[in-house]
Amino acid sequence: MEKIKVGIIGTGFIGPTHIEAIRRLGFVEIAGVAETSQETAEKKAAELGIPKAFGNYRDMLSDPEIQVIHNCTPNHLHFAINKEIILAGKHVVSEKPLAMNSKESAELLALAKKQGVVHGVNFNYRQHASVQNLKVKITNGDFGKVNLVHGSYLQDWLLYETDYNWRLAPEVGGKSRAVADIGSHWCDTVQFVTGKKIVEVFADLATVIPMRKKPTSNVATFGGQSGQETEYEDVPINTEDYASVLVRFEDGSRGVFTVSQVSAGRKNRLSFEINGSKSSAYWNQEEPEKLWMGHRDKPNEILLADPALFSPESRTAIHHPGGHNEGWPDALKNMMLNFYTFIREGKNPLEDKANFATFEDGHISMAITDAILESHEQQKWVKVQANQEVLV
């Protein structure tokens, strides 16, 4: 069978991780990469072993060989490029956030449905094997009625005033930073696991470091300190380093989460606890092979990821025997495997249920982010408006 041909737009931190995950599938081929100039594209294509280099992504969109496009560009470009990808008739995987606001994301969702393309958003944390297994357990009632959901997503890569990245600029990263960047992952993961939508929020946001020192030379995301002397310019910061958000789910259950990019020692700690009427569950992304299960009348348990101990429905998410830990890159591979299997099997995005996050999930995420920003500004509960009607 002929391989599915793919193009990647953007080769910063996330683009190469998409490429690595795709290459692990075997039935998908990276045919081209697009960058901001022909010189940069050719350099990246040579480094990554990709045959075609495009200095303009629109040339990639007109290439008849390429069937799928991955949008791995900075946030402010997501809406326009996603729209062009869909109108070019290509299937699309977008990085999150899907757009800059829920009005834009609603338009993208409606357009993707109208054009009939397969559409995915890289919410990869739901693809961890233990998360997949937990979802089945909750669906089967192992924990009883879910009453409370609480947790956090903590990082430290912006701890110092000299830490700087394009995500700090609202015109590039968007009006929200910590919530849109990592809070979106937390919300998507807990909604997936519980099967319940967040419908109302009450938010408190803070810019912990209101003035940062921006290096006059480029610094890579998550690159750390180079040890070399750097010149800086002072830049005022208007997006949040921190947020705590009360949430209400559609069935009336409650929750709360905190996100921070200034928590020393926490590298990428997405964690959540679910308290049910029978038992509780806790999962932490930095130790993804472990699922803690808490009980009142018997000893608590730690379930290590093991296909022999997983439910039949979740075994496809784990690929190695117990004790062979799978982590972040493997969850990303699961996202790609599910997306491309959907295409290979010729499924219809309007009729067949996807086992990956779609533009619908991306739109719900944007609607939650918009509600959080409004709640913080007005200091009151705000309903999530995810049902906008759009004419396309």
CATH number for the domain that contains residue 162: 3.30.360.10
Residues 263 and 195 both lie in one domain: yes
Residues 99 and 69 both lie in one domain: yes
Summarize the confidence of residues 346-357 as an average pLDDT.
97
**Does residue 378 belong to any structural domain of this protein?**
no
pLDDT, residue 175, reads 95
Residues 142 and 226 both lie in one domain: yes
Residues 103 and 135 both lie in one domain: no
| DSSP secondary structure letters along 124-157 | -GGGSHHHHHHHHHHHTTTT-SEEEEEEEEE--T
Residues 80 and 104 both lie in one domain: yes
Decide: helix, strand or coil at residue 55: coil
pLDDT digits (tens, 9 = 90+) for 255-299: 999 999 999 999 999 999 999 999 999 999 999 999 999 999 999
**Does residue 48 belong to any structural domain of this protein?**
yes
CA distances from 276 to 146, 280, 293 (A): 4, 6, 11
pLDDT, residue 323, reads 93
- Is the pLDDT assigned to residue 305 strictly greater than 80? yes
Residues 78 and 158 both lie in one domain: no
Residues 195 and 212 both lie in one domain: yes
Q: Give the Cα separation of 90 and 357 in Å (integer).
A: 17
Decide: helix, strand or coil at residue 254: strand
Q: What is the count of structural domains for the chain?
A: 2
**Does residue 330 belong to any structural domain of this protein?**
no
Residue 331's pLDDT band (boundaries 50, 70, 90)?
A: very high
**Does residue 319 belong to any structural domain of this protein?**
yes
**Does residue 390 belong to any structural domain of this protein?**
no
Residue 364's pLDDT band (boundaries 50, 70, 90)?
A: very high
Residues 23 and 74 both lie in one domain: yes
Q: How far is CA 246 from the centre of its chain?
A: 21
pLDDT, residue 227, reads 52
CA distances from 143 to 140, 148, 153 (A): 8, 12, 23
**Does residue 375 belong to any structural domain of this protein?**
no
Residues 216 and 319 both lie in one domain: yes
Residues 66 and 210 both lie in one domain: no
Summarize the confidence of residues 113-117 as an average pLDDT.
97
pTM here is 0.94
pLDDT, residue 81, reads 98
The domain boundary, picked from 325, 345, 368, lies at 325
Nearest CA to 257 out of 324, 374, 178, 336 is that of 178
Residues 141 and 253 both lie in one domain: yes
- What is the Cβ-side half-sphere exposure of residue 108, based on CA atoms within 13 angstroms? 34
pLDDT, residue 388, reads 76
Q: In the chain, pLDDT over 90 holds for what percent of residues? A: 93
- Burial (CB count within 10 angstroms: exposed 0-12, middle 13-18, buried 19+), residue 89: exposed
CA distances from 39 to 6, 66, 188 (A): 21, 21, 37
Q: Which residues are paired to 290 by β-bridges?
A: 304
Pairing relationship of beta strands 232-236 and 254-260 according to DSSP bridges = unpaired
Average pLDDT value over all residues in the chain: 95
- Burial (CB count within 10 angstroms: exposed 0-12, middle 13-18, buried 19+), residue 227: exposed
**Does residue 370 belong to any structural domain of this protein?**
no
Q: In the chain, pLDDT over 70 holds for what percent of residues? A: 96
pLDDT, residue 223, reads 56
**Does residue 373 belong to any structural domain of this protein?**
no
- Is the pLDDT assigned to residue 221 strictly greater than 70? no
Could you tell me if 235 and 165 are in contact, meaning their C-beta atoms sit under 8 angstroms apart?
no
Residue 222's pLDDT band (boundaries 50, 70, 90)?
A: low
Summarize the confidence of residues 141-169 as an average pLDDT.
97
Residues 189 and 305 both lie in one domain: yes
pLDDT, residue 251, reads 96
Identify the domain containing residue 40 by its residue range.
4-125+336-359
Handedness of CA 254, 194, 291, 128 (dihedral sign): negative
- Is the pLDDT assigned to residue 392 strictly greater than 80? no
Nearest CA to 33 out of 9, 65, 17 is that of 9
Residue 9's pLDDT band (boundaries 50, 70, 90)?
A: very high
Summarize the confidence of residues 43-65 as an average pLDDT.
97
- The CATH number that applies at residue 79 is 3.40.50.720
